[in-house]
Amino acid sequence: MTEPGASNRTVAFIGLGNMGLPMARRLLDAGFAVRGSDVSAAARAEFQAFGGRAFDSAQAAVGDSGEIVLMLPNSAIVRDVVLGANGIARVLRAGTLLIDMSSSVPVETRKLAQELEGRQILLIDAPVSGGVKRAMNGTLAIMAGGDEGHIARARPLLAAMGANIVPTGSVGSAHAVKALNNYVSAAGLAAACEATVVARAFGIDPNVFIDALNVSTGRNNATENKMKPFVLSRTFASGFSMSLMAKDIGIADQLADHCGLHAQGIHIAAELWAAASAELGTSADHTEIERVLARPRGTNNKSTSADSERRAAPGNR
């Protein structure tokens, strides 16, 4: 189905990873002409097979696109792709709109927007929530920060990829909301896992316990959508990595620091998830946090201790 406003509209999509590829495909399905780029030749080939035009560099992918979607690992890579030695800013015309859908650091997003303003290049941040499954069916939640007119201009693209678009305020605000949302999500999962571990140890059937939570005030996204299919089943296959969750909570922790807030819960969560990610590896699913939380009392967690020492060192929080 062609999205209103898609006809003859060329979009560049930089970053065709696990989330980026299905999102770019949704734009193709909506009728946009999409020029894609990724460092992975396999990702470029798969994108081309879906009907997109693939390029081996971001500069080449830009072409005559009026809007450019960035779906990249972090703020440092976003900055390099935009303003680096081979950055796309060198070839963009005035008035081009960059849509950063990455999970970037809010403060860095604002800095980048200010630097681009002098080049007459526009930027909004529009990170997503929902995972690969919702990226594939176009039902992502999309938070959008920046000028209202710029968000309105991007709305046809965003609507092709998401079911809910939530304007959050000035540029950088959407990246802040995304990081804080993932902290709340991670806290709910950790609480559900810990409570289930204790219930099991006391002789309560974990499935019965989750059923009780889901008709009680303890119900949350994790109890409804993660505990039975991924944790109790021991499949740990939700499709969202622990390293990405740790990164997002770390961004939330940095944001609290930037705002001069203690935010102890966020800080403790950042330490927990960073330590778990370091211990279990980058390929671990975020639902595997249960493996760490299920340890008997007194079990040493070297990565947690090392991280605590690092954070306590001079120059850190």
For residue 2, pLDDT beyond 60: no
Considering the domain boundaries, does residue 3 fall inside one? no
Task: Identify the active-site residue in 111, 133, 178, 302.
Answer: 178
Whether 178 is catalytic is: yes
State yes or no: pLDDT of 312 exceeds 50: no
C-beta atoms surrounding 7 within 10 Å: 10
pLDDT tens profile 162-215: 999 999 999 999 999 999 999 999 999 999 999 999 999 999 999 999 999 999
* Nearest CA-CA partner of 206 in 186, 226, 184, 182: 226
Helices (H), 263-301: 264-280, 289-293
Which positions ≥6 away from 257 have C-beta within 8 Å? 317
Q: Are residues 152 and 46 in the same domain?
A: yes
Number of structural domains, the chain?
2
Instruction: Tell which of 132, 154, 170 closes a domain.
Output: 170
Domain identity same for 130 and 216: no
Within a domain: 53: yes
**Domain termination residue (choose one: 118, 143, 170):** 170
The rounded distance, in Å, linking the Cα atoms of 53 and 34 is 6
- The answer on 286 and 202 residing in a single domain is yes
The pLDDT of residue 316 is above 50? no
Instruction: Give the residue numbers spanning the domain of 185.
Output: 176-312
